[in-house]
Structure 1
Amino acid sequence: MTRATAGLADRLARAGRGVGMAGPGRRPAPSRSGGRPRRGVRRSVITLVLLALPSLILLLLINLYPLLYAGMQSVRAGNLISLGRFVGLDNYADVLQNPDFWSSARFTVIFTVTGVFGSWVIGLTLALLLRTRIPAGGVFKVLLLLPWVVPIVVSATAWNWLVATPQSPLPVLAEAIGFGNVLFLADPLLAQVTVCVFKVWVSFPFMMMMMSSALAGVDQGVYEAAKVDGATGWQAFRTITMPLISRSTYISWILMTIFCVNDFPTIFLLTGGGPVNATTSLVVLAYRTVFQNFQTGPGVAIAFLMTLVLVVISVLLYRQIRKVAIE
Structure 2
Amino acid sequence: MSTRTVEQDLGRARKGVGVAGPGRPGRPAPRRPGASTFTLLAFAAPAIILLVLLNLYPVLYAGYQSLRDGSLISAGDFVGAENYLKVLSNPEFWASARFTVVFTLVGVFGSWLVGLALAILLKTKVPGSTLFKVLLLLPWVVPVVVSATAWNWLVATPQSPLPILAEALGLGNVLFLANPTLAQVTVCVFKVWISFPFMMMMMGAALASVDNNVYEAARVDGASRWQELTSITLPMISRSTYISWILMTIFCVNDFPTIFLLTGGGPVNATQSLVVMAYNTVFQNFNTGTGVAIAFVMTLVLIIISVALFRQIRKVQIL
TM over 0.5: yes
Paired position in structure 1 for 2:98: 106
1:149 aligns with 2:141: yes
- Give 1:291's aligned amino acid: F
Backbone CA RMSD of aligned residues? 1.9
1:86 aligns with 2:83: no
CA apart distance, 1:56: 1.3
Give the share of equivalent positions with the same residue, in percent: 72
Structure 2 unaligned blocks of 5 or more: 1-16, 24-28
Which whole-Å CA distance do the structure 2 matches of 1:311 and 1:39 have between them?
Answer: 38
CA apart distance, 1:29: 2.6
1:205 aligns with 2:193: no
List aligned pairs for 1:212-223, cutoff 5 A: 212-223=204-215
Which whole-Å CA distance do the structure 2 matches of 1:245 and 1:65 have between them?
Answer: 38
Q: Deviations over 1:87-131 (max 9, x none)?
A: 110000000000100000000000000000000000000000001
Which structure has the larger Rg? 1
Which whole-Å CA distance do the structure 1 matches of 2:312 and 2:104 have between them?
Answer: 19
Match of 2:170 among 167, 173, 178: 178
Tell me the SS of whatever aligns to 2:222.
Answer: coil
1:54 aligns with 2:16: no
Tell me the SS of whatever aligns to 2:87.
Answer: helix
Paired position in structure 1 for 2:300: 308
Q: Deviations over 1:126-176 (max 9, x none)?
A: 000001111211110000000000000000000001001110111111111
Tell me the SS of whatever aligns to 1:76.
Answer: coil
1:274 aligns with 2:266: yes
Structure 1 unaligned blocks of 5 or more: 1-24, 32-36
Tell me the SS of whatever aligns to 1:218.
Answer: coil
CA apart distance, 1:82: 1.8
Which whole-Å CA distance do the structure 2 matches of 1:296 and 1:282 have between them?
Answer: 15
Tell me the SS of whatever aligns to 2:127.
Answer: coil
CA apart distance, 1:27: 10
CA apart distance, 1:55: 1.4
1:227 aligns with 2:222: no
Paired position in structure 2 for 1:69: 61
Which whole-Å CA distance do the structure 2 matches of 1:165 and 1:26 have between them?
Answer: 88
Tell me the SS of whatever aligns to 1:85.
Answer: coil
Paired position in structure 2 for 1:189: 181
Which whole-Å CA distance do the structure 2 matches of 1:194 and 1:27 have between them?
Answer: 80
Which whole-Å CA distance do the structure 2 matches of 1:179 and 1:26 have between them?
Answer: 92
Which whole-Å CA distance do the structure 2 matches of 1:326 and 1:39 have between them?
Answer: 32
CA apart distance, 1:30: 9.2
Which whole-Å CA distance do the structure 2 matches of 1:313 and 1:40 have between them?
Answer: 41
1:124 aligns with 2:138: no
Q: Deviations over 1:204-240 (max 9, x none)?
A: 0000000000000001111111111111111111111
Please, what TM-score do these two structures have when normalized by structure 1?
A: 0.88
1:288 aligns with 2:287: no
Which whole-Å CA distance do the structure 2 matches of 1:178 and 1:42 have between them?
Answer: 82
Question: Aligned pair count?
Answer: 298
Paired position in structure 1 for 2:126: 134
Tell me the SS of whatever aligns to 1:44.
Answer: helix
- Give 1:100's aligned amino acid: E
Match of 2:256 among 264, 267, 271: 264
Paired position in structure 2 for 1:11: none
- Give 1:119's aligned amino acid: S
- Give 1:81's aligned amino acid: I
CA apart distance, 1:80: 1.0
- Give 1:219's aligned amino acid: D
Runs of 4+ in 1 over 4 A off after TM superposition: 25-28, 37-41
- Give 2:94's aligned amino acid: W
Which whole-Å CA distance do the structure 2 matches of 1:76 and 1:310 have between them?
Answer: 24
Paired position in structure 2 for 1:317: 309
